[in-house]
Amino acid sequence: MIDTDFFLPVVLERYLVQSSVGQPRTADFLATQATVDPDNAGLTYTDLARISAEKIMNISAPFAAAGGQTKDNLIHLKDGQVVGEWRDSTYGIGGGRIPYDVNTALVPAALRAIAVLSASGFFPEHPDWNTTAAASAQVWEDSPLSFFEVTLPVDEAKRLVTDYTSTAGLGFPSNADNLTSDVVYHGLALDGNNDQPIVKVMNTDDCFRHFLLNTTDQKQLTAFVNQTANNILAAYPVGLSTPVGMIVANPAYGGDPVYAANFTNNAYHGVYLNGSSAVDSC
């Protein structure tokens, strides 16, 4: 898994800096000796927090560097692995190698947390992190989103959702007539199955960005909030809503039968009710 590392500094910052309950427990907590992994024998939670933060700072640095905002510098799954984040089934991110949630939400959230922790006296070995992590976070907040954006002209969107409804044998209307403007959403990953540059599956992973970040690019933020609201409110298969709740992924706009076959109501990464799967702490 590649996503869990990024949650640690976020949790530490929330509990040890923001929480009145956690603050007085900081010294005892960080002095705790690691016991679960034999490879960590002799290390404290302070050591493990620093090691994790160092990893995050190192792997995020190429994209944050001047001129480094390229697809190659985004965070990829580990070589030889087909999973690496919460949709941890074979087709969970459509064969993609560069997950949407990790790159657009978890990385910048972790960097913001590292900056706050550093400013609060954590990581004394790296006193510059209060500024360098914040600067990197700004780049990661503003730049990765565009790599994952999918915009479908309304006529194409109508065709795709009608074809999907028919081929998937859903047994209810396509709701295509409800589409009156272009469909905009962010795909689950980059470099997907069948040489798809973007895994064109509408999804609820926008929630990670909404809950973990407080972005400052107002034009981008307005567009992101609008597209999220539009997709959540629209009835499936046009959007993500059903009479009994919201689904976690909608493959109607993929344009490739592989998506309809792999993102079904039998898979928790697919046309599955929100609240029934791992994502839905969000």
**Integer Cα distance of 93 and 70 in angstroms:** 20
Looking at residue 277, what is its pLDDT? 42
pLDDT in tens, 132-181: 999 999 999 999 999 999 999 999 999 999 999 988 777 888 989 999 99
User: Residue 21 is which amino acid?
Assistant: V
Total domains in the chain come to 1
pLDDT in tens, 177-197: 999 999 999 999 999 988 889
**Residue carrying the six token digits 């998506």:** 259
Instruction: State yes or no: pLDDT of 17 exceeds 70.
Output: yes
Average pLDDT over residues 221-245: 94
Rounded to 10 deg, the angle between the 45-64 and 129-142 helix axes is 50
pLDDT in tens, 69-84: 999 999 999 999 999 9
pLDDT in tens, 86-135: 999 888 999 999 999 999 999 999 999 999 999 999 999 999 999 999 99
Average pLDDT over residues 217-226: 97
**Integer Cα distance of 164 and 259 in angstroms:** 10
**Integer Cα distance of 237 and 250 in angstroms:** 7
Percent of the chain at pLDDT exceeding 90 = 80
Q: 186 pairs with which residues across the strands?
A: 149
Phi-psi category of 19—alpha, beta or left, where left has phi over 0 and alpha has psi -120 to 50?
Answer: beta
Instruction: State yes or no: pLDDT of 279 exceeds 80.
Output: no
Looking at residue 198, what is its pLDDT? 96
**Integer Cα distance of 154 and 246 in angstroms:** 23
Asked whether 246 and 204 are in contact (CB, 8 A), the reply is yes
pTM of the model: 0.93
Average pLDDT over residues 242-270: 86
Q: What is the 3-state secondary structure (H, E, C) of 236-248?
A: CCCCCEECCEEEC
Residue 120 belongs to domain spanning = 4-281
With cut-offs at 50, 70 and 90, classify the pLDDT of residue 271. confident
Looking at residue 171, what is its pLDDT? 80
**Integer Cα distance of 2 and 7 in angstroms:** 10
Instruction: State yes or no: pLDDT of 280 exceeds 80.
Output: no
Strands (E), 206-281: 241-242, 245-246, 249-250
Instruction: State yes or no: pLDDT of 281 exceeds 90.
Output: no
